[in-house]
Structure 1
Amino acid sequence: MNSGAAAAASGAGAAPGAVTLLVNPAAGGSTGERVAARAARRLLGRGVEVDVVAGRDAAETRERARACVSAGAGVLAVAGGDGMVHLALQELAGSSTALAVLPTGTGNDFARVLGIPSANPDAAADVLIGGVRRSIDLGRCSPPEDADRPLWFGTVLTSGFDSLVVERTDRMRWPRGRMRYAAAVMAELGRLRPLPFTVEADGHEEHLEAVLVAVGNTAFYGGGMRICPHADPGDGRLAVTAVGPATSGQLLRAFPRIYRGTHTTHPLVRTFHARRVRLHTPGMRAYADGEPAGALPLHAEAVPGAVEVLVPR
């Protein structure tokens, strides 16, 4: 877990002796099921009580998560990627049930923030045994016409070029994994254009031309890109990164820097913090944790200590 989030931790109690494993067999083939079964065997071998819960689709999986929280589950462990984590956060936010992640997705950005190893299922499962419980912030967003139904996000809310890339990625069936995202990026670069954004940050409104605006609760999105390297999920603020009217060549050359988080020194990039952000540009949608968040305009805010998570010691 990053140092800022660790510093904002509310407590460091040991993981409880009972765990609920949430699996969505429809997501990511059978990988989530295999990892969950392996983790269950490992936990049972260590004397931990395990309850494996599966949903046939995203809607049923969310219902199962809601039931686990309502029943007072101590820990809900999600076997999946950022989409599964996003689904679980909608039910876990504001509850006393802690989230644990067994990463099996393509990007695993939320797991990366928590310091959960994605390449070692046994080490990830061991966090459920010997990890510590932390409290971190979440982002919460809603369109103005539906403010009573907010959407929670753990990583990044983004719009502009990134929205178009996500939409294209979802339409593609080949290639698989990270290469599909990279292919979508290359395709959208050929159509790159700046957009007239209105960004209101803590009541201060500004109009700017940008190819993308990202609002981060945490730093990572897109499988390890540090789009908001100044984000800290323990400071009660959102980190905003706006990329100005770059050409496709400029944006392409900047991608290696985005993975390192050094793009923020580029003259076309602006970064700042805000507790509340309103984002708008005509005819554009936003995505949060890589999932649809709705059409702009959207309001987003940081909610301090909104969820408890299990992280390595």
Structure 2
Amino acid sequence: MTSDVSLFVNPSAGRGRGARAAGPAADHLRRAGFGVRSVVGADAADALRRARAAVEAGTSALVAVGGDGMVSLALQAVAGTDTPLGVVAAGTGNDFARAAGLPLRDPAAAGRVVAEALKEGRIRELDLGRTGDRWFGTVLASGFDSRVNDRGNRMRWPTGRLRYDVAVLAELAALRPIPYRIALDDAPEREIEATLIAVGNGPSYGGGMRICADAEMDDGLFDVCVVGPCSRTTLLRVFPRVYRGTHPSHPVVTVHRAARVRLAAPGVTGYADGERIGPLPLEARTVPAAVRLLV
């Protein structure tokens, strides 16, 4: 282990906030006596290769500077290792940092947390979800929400947030119940119809949508939120409640807890930490204490 800290930077996160956030965070680390090296890749695959190389070389910490996509990429490098993870949340959603109680869009404060945590040995061991060889920290989404992502990713116009608003309207127009097969832990597989199923290691996705509102990141279990078949009107009534985390009280919503979840459904893609994982069927399992977070 060296005294160097690796800043894992996404320059484009939050319309450039990632690049701007790196400076104040690095300043705090240097004042605390740490050497700082930046890890920036030409693309996601190159960035991950460089991050893994830094971990293998014995960096004191890998500090993700950016949004949830950058944190997710960092998790692929540090999960299951002794290298601690720092987070300077400078993206749009920041759901991982929000769930962990870390500063949001305040790079100086986030840099101070990382520096002090390294000095004082403040580590919080958190669970991660794993599906195939992919780790995730917040939510694995499938169904209506993932179809909105699919449609939004295919669209070239409009741009920005409006693209996803248009995708939501298009998916609402096409709303139909999805036939799922679901199995929780060792229970028999069941066939159900649902609008969406979200598997939460953490409580929120999409920038504070508390889809798995009571999920805790260190209890060894997922919270599995199932939104059953519903009309467009019902979905429009239920979905705003997701921001407050009060939707589980609606009769169309059920929540389960499990350490392993298997999902299958035709024509449905899974997204974890906002990143595309691939088509169902997928199996997700919790891995306790998989990452050492600087807090």
- Whether TM exceeds 0.5 here: the answer is yes
Conserved? CA contact 1:25–1:56, under 8 Å: no
Conserved? CA contact 1:198–1:206, under 8 Å: yes
What TM-score comes out, normalization by structure 2 length?
0.92
Matched, 1:65 2:51: yes
Q: C-alpha distance in 1, partners of 2:112/2:169?
A: 39
Q: C-alpha distance in 1, partners of 2:64/2:53?
A: 14
- Deviation, structure 1 residue 66: 0.6
Q: C-alpha distance in 1, partners of 2:126/2:61?
A: 15
- Deviation, structure 1 residue 133: 1.1
- Deviation, structure 1 residue 282: 1.2
**Equivalent position amino acid for 2:61 in 1:** V
- Deviation, structure 1 residue 300: 0.7
- Equivalent position to 1:273, from 257, 265, 272: 257
User: What's the RMSD between the two structures over aligned residues?
Assistant: 1.7
- Equivalent position to 1:33, from 16, 19, 23: 19
Q: C-alpha distance in 2, partners of 1:116/1:190?
A: 38
Name the SS of the counterpart of 1:221 in structure 2.
coil
Q: C-alpha distance in 2, partners of 1:133/1:18?
A: 18
Matched, 1:122 2:108: yes
Q: Which residue of 2 aligns with 1:12?
A: none
CA distances 1:79-107 after superposition (whole Å, capped 9, x unpaired): 11111111111121100111111112111
Q: Which residue of 2 aligns with 1:171?
A: 154
Conserved? CA contact 1:26–1:57, under 8 Å: no
- Deviation, structure 1 residue 175: 4.5
Q: C-alpha distance in 2, partners of 1:300/1:23?
A: 28
Q: C-alpha distance in 2, partners of 1:174/1:126?
A: 39
Q: C-alpha distance in 1, partners of 2:35/2:196?
A: 46
CA distances 1:147-172 after superposition (whole Å, capped 9, x unpaired): xxx21110011111011111123234
- Deviation, structure 1 residue 65: 0.8
Conserved? CA contact 1:24–1:61, under 8 Å: no
Q: Which residue of 1 aligns with 2:229?
A: 245
What TM-score comes out, normalization by structure 1 length?
0.87
Conserved? CA contact 1:24–1:58, under 8 Å: no
Question: Among the aligned pairs, what percent are the same residue?
Answer: 52
Q: Which residue of 2 aligns with 1:3?
A: none
The count of residues paired between Structure 1 and Structure 2 equals 288
Name the SS of the counterpart of 1:225 in structure 2.
coil
* Correspondence list, 1:93-242, <5 A: 93-131=79-117, 132-142=122-132, 150-172=133-155, 174-177=158-161, 180-204=163-187, 205-242=189-226
